[in-house]
Amino acid sequence: MVLKTEHYVINVGPQHPSTHGVFRLRLTLDGEVIVDVEPIFGYLHRGMEKIAEGRNYTKNIPLTDRLDYLSSMINNQAYCMAVENLLNITVPERAQYIRVIMAELQRMASHLAGIGFFMNDIGAFSTPLLYMFREREKIVELFDMACGQRLNYNYMRFGGVSMDLPEEFLPALKKLLDGMPGFINEYDKLISTNEIVLVRAKGVGILPKELAVNASAAGPVLRGSGIKWDLRKNQPYSIYDRFEFDIPTGEIGDTYDRYAVRLEEIRQSVRILKQAIAQLPAGETMAKVSKLIRPPASETYTAVEGPKGELGFFVVADGSENPYRWHVRAPSLINLTALKEMLLGWKVADLMAIFGSIDIVMGEVDR
Amino acid sequence: MKDIAFIEIAALIRERFGDGVAAADDKRLIVEPPRLAEVAAFLRDDPNLNLDYLSSVTAIDHKTDFTLIYHLYSLTKNQRLTMRVPVVDRVSPAVPSVTPIWRGADLQEREIFDLFGIEFSGHPNLKRLFMWEGFPGFPLRKDWVNRGP
């Protein structure tokens, strides 16, 4: 007897915890196998780009905090750099170093959260996530010291940073960096060779090199597929050309490679931070910039390497105090372009592993 | 990353596709919409340019017309190019889609369609991205008025 089967459609999300509350995947299934995928966003749409047109340049800095809220410092940095380009402001040396320190700490915090949630998504309930949050908490405390906030920092300003580092900051940072290699080895031991993780992640959800490039994937998703591309090296901004670090890449672009790239990037961030502390000069942390700025009619696209990939701000000025057009090139959104190809042919149980390995933040996907 | 000179690239495009397809000064490269898809394929496949990565597509509303802006990278040659495409018709704006050339344009063209109302002919799945089907108007247009409750 031949069994007659029919395709059927199910929705994953928006309530599913792994879809972060506001993301829906409409799956067409043949038994357990995924044969079609349609991602649906648009539950959160806060209309940031529209709001930004009605506020002045400075008041838009807090909006950037709320995009990728696990990487607010880097969002601040990218937007401030864009406006500095419009105004031709030179940022003082000390402020540049402080920005790099904050950005690299933020990259570590974001990757820790990313790996932790990825583990949570594939069913490693609590333990790895809590280990990751143990170190993320220390980073968040450092941010709290620097600017009085644990999330949504709003720390960077056009021309520098809002205040200098407090006295207790550098000793606490050094202590964190001394402990970090040990912690990373601990994660490595806990996760990287874990038999269940290997079965769930190795060879699963492969994103081939050519497709990764063609689909504009960025960050660990692109590098996991073996493309050595990092804006900190390829388009050096701020003072990144002064530091030595490597760009880790994966081999085949599977779920495991994307995880491994993130873990290695935490190690590289520790390297950068150690060099930045050693070189940190004394001096001003803010250039002279007037309170209400009116950039001349011009436009800029300024991109940095965020934890999720290329984060770009496209700002058009018309000479008034508000931006005429304000656009964010959001890596979390664009990394979902190839989601369909990554999921086709895999089973429902693999969906969360593959989806979790892309590491998206809904604030940035659904702006 | 180095920038590709606009004037030279415009000359290359004109040589290949005829007059009236591209124009440039030292600040911008303008490609006219009718043959955009062919120009895009040329930019990607020409061995000297090899612009294989579409970093970003976005639009500006100038109140009377629109401009689309494409930021392109070549990952192998480490160079970049910014291309502008004017969209003059405000009533039924449409340009050829570049999604068949760079898959990365997929969601970004849908976003522009959703928020500016510019159609991309040849896009495989042109639907609203953020707003729901039937949402009145296109919020990022300058003449859009919020008619909320």
Domains annotated for chain A, with CATH where assigned, are 8-365 (1.10.645.10)
Checking if the pLDDT of B143 tops 90, the result is no
Task: Give yes or no for a contact between A152 and A62, defined as CB atoms under 8 angstroms apart.
Answer: yes
Chain A closest CA to B89's CA: distance in Å?
Answer: 20
What the block records as the tokens of B79 is: 């160079």
**Parallel/antiparallel/unpaired status of strands B29-31 and A160-161:** unpaired
Query: Which amino acid is present at A28?
Result: T
Q: Do B60 and A50 touch (CB under 8 A)?
A: no
User: Residue A198: in which H helix or E strand, if any?
Assistant: helix A195-201
Contacts of A36 in chain B (CB under 8 A): none
Please report the pLDDT score of residue A97 as a whole number: 94
Confidence band for B148, pLDDT divided at 50, 70 and 90: low
Q: Given 3-state DSSP classes, what are the helix, strand and coil percentages for chain B, each rounded to the nearest 5?
A: 25, 30, 50
Of B78, B128, B132, the CB nearest to A234: B78
Say what the pLDDT of residue A95 is.
93
Neighbour order of strands in the sheet with A24-30: A8-12, A24-30, A33-40
Contact (CB<8Å) A310/B55: yes
Quick check: A175 pLDDT over 90? Answer: yes
Chain A interface includes B86 (CB < 8 A)? no
Which residues have CB under 8 Å from A263's CB, separation 6+?
A111, A115, A184, A187, A188, A191, A192
Report whether pLDDT(B49) > 90: no
Q: Looking at the partner chain, which of A50, A235, A334 has a beta carbon nearest the beta carbon of B104?
A: A334
Per-residue pLDDT tens for A85-139?
999 999 999 999 999 999 999 999 999 999 998 998 888 877 888 988 999 999 9
Nearest-CB residue to A301 (from B56, B61, B75):
B56
Residues A288-300 pLDDT 10s = 888 888 999 999 9
CA–CA distance, A21 with A16 (Å, rounded to integer): 6
Contacts of A335 in chain B (CB under 8 A): none
Q: Beta B66-74 vs A325-329: how paired, if at all?
A: unpaired
**Contacts with B130 from chain A: Cβ below 8 Å:** 41-42, 45, 366-367
Q: Which two tokens stand for residue B75?
A: 């990952």
Stretch 51-70 of chain B: residues touching chain A, C-beta under 8 Å: 52-56, 58, 60-61, 69
Contact between A58 and A293 under an 8 Å Cβ cutoff? The reply is: yes
Does the structure show a pLDDT above 90 at B136? Answer: no
Helices (H) and strands (E) in chain B, counts: 3, 8
Q: What confidence category does residue B149 fall into, taking pLDDT thresholds of 50, 70 and 90?
A: low
Burial class of residue A149, CB neighbours in 10 A (0-12, 13-18, 19+): middle
CB contact under 8 A, B103 and A310: no
Position A261 confidence tier, pLDDT thresholds 50, 70, 90: very high
pLDDT category at A270 given cuts 50, 70, 90 is very high
Alpha-carbon separation of residue B124 from A30, B98, B101 (angstroms): 23, 10, 12
For A1, residues 6+ apart whose C-beta sits below 8 A from its C-beta are none
CB contact under 8 A, A214 and B104: yes
pTM of the entire predicted model: 0.91
Contact B108 A310 (CB under 8 A): no
**N-terminal to C-terminal alpha carbon distance within chain A:** 52
**Quick one: average pLDDT of A11-21?**
76
Residue A360: the pLDDT is 86
pLDDT score at A208: 93
- Tell whether the model's pLDDT for residue B134 goes beyond 80: yes
Residue pair B68/B29 in contact (Cβ under 8 Å)? The answer is: no
- Mean pLDDT (chain A) is 90
Helix axis angle, A93-121 to A72-87, nearest 10° = 140
Whether A17 shows a pLDDT value over 90: the answer reads no
Angle between helix A127-147 and helix A93-121 axes, rounded to 10 deg? 160
- Taking chain B, what is the end-to-end CA distance rounded to the nearest angstrom? 49
Paired sense of beta strands B2-3 and A33-40, if any: unpaired
* Dist. CA A76–CA A162, nearest whole Å: 11
From A298, which residue of chain B is nearest by alpha-carbon distance? Answer: B27
- The ipTM of this complex is 0.91
Question: Could you read off the pLDDT of B71-112 as tens digits, one per residue?
Answer: 999 999 899 999 999 999 888 999 999 999 999 999 999 999
Q: Which residue of A has its CA nearest to B105?
A: A215
Nearest CA in chain A to B112: A327
Domain B2-121: what homologous superfamily? NADH:ubiquinone oxidoreductase Nqo5 subunit (3.30.460.80)
pLDDT digits (tens, 9 = 90+) for A76-85: 999 999 999 9
* Whether residue A1 has pLDDT greater than 70: no
Q: Which two tokens stand for residue A174?
A: 């050094």
Say if B102 is an interface residue toward chain A (CB within 8 Å): yes
Q: What is the DSSP letter of A242?
A: G
- Over residues A37-53, the mean pLDDT reads 87
**Stretch A140-160: mean pLDDT:** 91
Angle at B6 between CA B4 and CA B12, to 5 degrees: 90
Q: What's the whole-number mean pLDDT along residues A145-173?
A: 91
Q: How many CA atoms lie within 13 A of A143 on its CB side?
A: 28
Comparison of pLDDT for A44 and A258, the residue scoring more: A258
pLDDT of residue A78: 93
Task: Give the pLDDT confidence score for residue A23 in this predicted structure.
Answer: 86
